[in-house]
Amino acid sequence: MEKLVGVQTITHFIGGEMKQGTSGRFGKVFKPSTGEVMVLCPYASAEEVNEAVAIAKNAFAGWKKTPVAQRVEIIHRFRSLLVEKTEELAQLIGLESGKTISDAKGEISRGLESVDLAINAPHLLKGEYSVNVGGEINAYSIKQPLGVVTAISPFNFPFMVPVAMATMAVACGNAVILKPSEKVPNSALFFSKLWKEAGLPDGVWNVVNGDKEAVDALLKHPDVPAVSFVGSTRIAQYIYEEGCRNHKRVAAFGGGKNHMIIMPDADLDHAVNSFLGAAYGAASQRCMAISAAVPVGEKTAEAFVAKLKRRVQDLKVGAYNDADADFGALISQESKETVIKYIEQSLQEGAELCVDGRHPEAPHSQGFYLGATLLDHVTPDMQIYREEVFGPARIVVRLNSLDEAIELINNHEYGNGVTIFTNNGYAGRTFAEQIEVGMVGINVPIPIPVGYHNFGGWKRSKFGESHMFGPDTARFFTKSKTISERWPENDIQHDQVNFDFPSNR
């Protein structure tokens, strides 16, 4: 595309410097709250990606030898800078993603949990040691970094997700190429400068902006042994298959369809309050957002929907910096149109419109605003139930028993998050045991695990066995090596040859 007059073009961050793009390709980055173009983002060519990988590989040679205590000291400083710059970072996240400032601060705080975990790298990288496993032989296992690893991130968490994906990689001694979402590249450039300020050697942390061309170049590059991806399921599957075909280690996290079960004995006010925030927060643009309320029994459904409807009608969509807004604009006009199509299709299929958010009062006519919509009597065969809807159209599916609810959820293609509201411990325990979903809540709105527990869905919400957050990240970004060594007191006798398989007995 042509450059726009008066619109700044941003850069990549490679080798510790802001580097201009050279491909001649750019994309527009919008301010969702006003619909204006914020900046132009350069889209890297394969050649630019190759150049960045070469720079990162060079930096890796020194970084992998840097003692872990020194690596962690830099991460400590990075953490302090993030805390110091929280206000500025939250403004930037809000500006380019549309989410409210308070929501952006929540994202920063959760992202810091992953930084905290990375500061524990000396503990997580400890190996194992066994003495005298056989005739004066000691055996030990160590964890070594992989090399130049890549993280490819989505638009909806411009800070938390890339930081959760890749800070541990740095702590483990790898060099990183982050390919942020081309819709929100500014936050990544902002915190990359903080890495430099914290003292990270140039080339250990790099940001290459771009689209499919840059991603494909990373997937094919022989010097990139590991790919961590977060985004939609269709692309997650593509990344997983292409990455594996190119012999890479891949963890690819996809979309979700997250249910909230409301049992007849649940505290309804608690359930309604929890649903509102978990379902509509961030304009429902969270992989862990609750999409479907599943009240059990007609009486529960009638009472829950009556209370919920009134509250949904009062929700306020607004600009990212409007302190009274419950949630902000969607990421793009296209996204807004997609959500409206889901609503219209569901009405044709027989859903009942309880609250219509298609024409909200918007502070800017060109902003990508959509109000909160609630649809009742949705059935499992409807498109709006089957697919992930990344916008504030939420649904109610009425069922008659916990068994039916478990069966419904287990049959869904996604298995990211789920939650149940009940005062019955047995129901909660049965549910947690039988549900085929990776992250389960009992009387909590969004069961996002704390940063030092593993995060990741089941079924088509995750491809690959590793998790994001938690100790799995240290395993993902290292390879294990086991050494058996013998340093005998006396000279080894070399006059015997043994053709039997070595026994330690």
Which residues contact residue 130 at a Cβ distance below 8 angstroms, ignoring those fewer than 6 apart?
138, 139, 140
The catalytically annotated residue of 41, 172, 244, 287 is 287
Q: How far apart are CA 248 and CA 233, in angstroms?
A: 19
**Dihedral angle computed from the Cα positions of residues 299, 305, 308 and 314, in that order, rounded to the nearest 10 degrees:** -140
Distance in Å, CB of 185 to ligand NAD, minimum: 9
Q: Closer to ligand NAD by CB, 203 or 457: give it.
A: 457
Binding mask 439-458 for ligand NAD (x = CB under 6 A): ------------------x-
- Residue 99 interacting with ligand NAD (CB under 6 A): no
Q: Which two tokens stand for residue 120?
A: 């524990």
Binding mask 375-394 for ligand NAD (x = CB under 6 A): -------------x-x----
Binding mask 271-290 for ligand NAD (x = CB under 6 A): ----------------x---
Residue choice 119, 215, 226, 260 for contact with ligand NAD (CB under 6 A): 215
- Residue 243 interacting with ligand NAD (CB under 6 A): no
Question: For the chain, what is the total number of helices (H) and then of strands (E)?
Answer: 16, 22
Q: Which of 372, 376, 178 has its CA nearest to residue 293?
A: 376
Query: By Cβ distance, which residue is nearest to ligand NAD?
Result: 231
Q: How far apart are CA 460 and CA 6, in angstroms?
A: 43
Beta strand 417-421 with 175-179 is: unpaired
Q: How far apart are CA 190 and CA 67, in angstroms?
A: 27
Distance in Å, CB of 180 to ligand NAD, minimum: 6
Residues 109, 196 contacting (CB under 8 angstroms): no
Q: Which two tokens stand for residue 237?
A: 């599957």
Q: Which amino acid is at 121?
A: A
- Residue 244 is among the residues annotated as catalytic for this protein: no
Q: Which amino acid is at 59?
A: A
Orientation angle between helical segments 298-313 and 268-280, nearest 10 degrees: 50
Residue choice 230, 296, 319, 325 for contact with ligand NAD (CB under 6 A): 230
Binding mask 148-187 for ligand NAD (x = CB under 6 A): ----xxxxxx---x-----------------x-xx-----
Residue choice 3, 212, 299, 341 for contact with ligand NAD (CB under 6 A): 212
Q: Strand pairing partners for 14?
A: 17
- Residue 43 interacting with ligand NAD (CB under 6 A): no
Distance in Å, CB of 235 to ligand NAD, minimum: 4
Distance in Å, CB of 217 to ligand NAD, minimum: 10
Positions in the binding site for ligand NAD (CB under 6 A): 152-157, 161, 179, 181-182, 211-212, 215, 230-232, 235, 238, 253-256, 287, 388, 390, 416, 457, 461
State the catalytic residues: 287
